[in-house]
Amino acid sequence: MDIKKYLNDKKEAVDSFLHKYYKEQRRPTLLQEAMLYCLFAGGKRIRPVLAIASYGACGGKSDEIIPYASALEMIHTYSLIHDDLPAMDNDDLRRGKPTSHKVYGEAVAILAGDALLTDAFSLLSDTTFCHTIKETDLMKALHEISIASGSLGMVAGQAQDILSENSIPDKKILQFIHIHKTRALICASVKLGCILAGSKPDKLEAISSYGSGIGLAFQVVDDILNIEGDAKEMGKAAGSDAKINKMTYPSLYGVEKSRQISKNLISDAINSIASFSSEADSLREIALYLLNRRN
């Protein structure tokens, strides 16, 4: 399969849905502008695409998945806006563009994040998009995503990250941060697709293993790219983690070992869905793409 074309097609489907969803100007102008500025700042839509691929791999046939997959991008975008705030990572650039608070001010940036997070749950509970998808499955998927994003998931990871700045590097803490901050939502994304396809527990278990593997590998590769990546391709200066003394896989394990860890995680992820048919090829290809990406 042509994975680049697959990724691009699905990205376009998500973009098109999000454009339609926020088309009407029914919000305070600056709030809506800030939300859309961040939502369309050049993200690759990895989480939605993973949800769509997982839905297909589990036998899902329709486009009903698109709205619910798009909600994942809203949650991801909110997390980036809040992470970039002066009180947090204090980043001026994201994907080569000024961050939200640099353009709209801190108050509107905080509110744009709050709005995207809350709206994601409006979308995930909007049953008007359900035709073959069961409402009870949608509820189950929403619950998974909320757990992965909340105080036992992504927020816990970001809090630990902030609270560990300038502390002694520690492999357990690093793993806690990566598992919660990055892996949780990526894993919940593939679970969303699997649940909405009406899958049985054994399939969900296999998909969870796949999601855990690629979710952690994604962050390890990110850490490596932060050292070795091309600033232009990355949209931010290489070496920015090292500059602020951030705990990363390369800083604790070295680059070579980190590369091996990410390879093993991806290979385990692919093995965990070995029993799936060729409909899961997109998931297999995405795993390899995430390992070999340059940005």
What is the maximum span of the chain, computed from C-alpha positions, in angstroms? 52
Cβ neighbors of 157 (< 8 A, separation 6 or more) are 176, 177, 178, 179, 180, 181, 182, 184
Cβ-based nearer residue to a copy of itself, 21 or 253: 21
Q: By CB neighbour count within 10 A (0-12 exposed, 13-18 middle, 19+ buried), where does 217 fall?
A: buried
Cβ-based nearer residue to a copy of itself, 129 or 253: 129
CB of 269 to a copy of itself, least distance (A): 26
Q: Look at residue 22 and give its three-state secondary structure.
A: coil
Cα(60)–Cα(63) distance, integer angstroms = 9
Cβ-based nearer residue to a copy of itself, 39 or 290: 39
CB of 96 to a copy of itself, least distance (A): 25
CB of 143 to a copy of itself, least distance (A): 4
Cα(210)–Cα(84) distance, integer angstroms = 29
Cβ-based nearer residue to a copy of itself, 135 or 256: 135
> What is the DSSP code string of 269-288?
HHHHTTTS-GGGHHHHHHHH
Q: By the 8 A CB rule, do 124 and 138 touch? A: yes
Cα(77)–Cα(100) distance, integer angstroms = 11
CB of 27 to a copy of itself, least distance (A): 5
Query: Where along the sequence are the contacts to a copy of itself (CB under 8 A)?
Result: 26-28, 30-32, 35, 78, 82, 85, 87-88, 105-108, 110-111, 113-119, 121-122, 125-127, 135-136, 138-140, 142-143, 146-147, 149-152, 155-156, 158-160, 162-163
CB of 172 to a copy of itself, least distance (A): 13
CB of 51 to a copy of itself, least distance (A): 17
Cβ-based nearer residue to a copy of itself, 110 or 280: 110
Cβ-based nearer residue to a copy of itself, 138 or 283: 138
Closest CA to 214 of 189, 186, 254, 177: 186
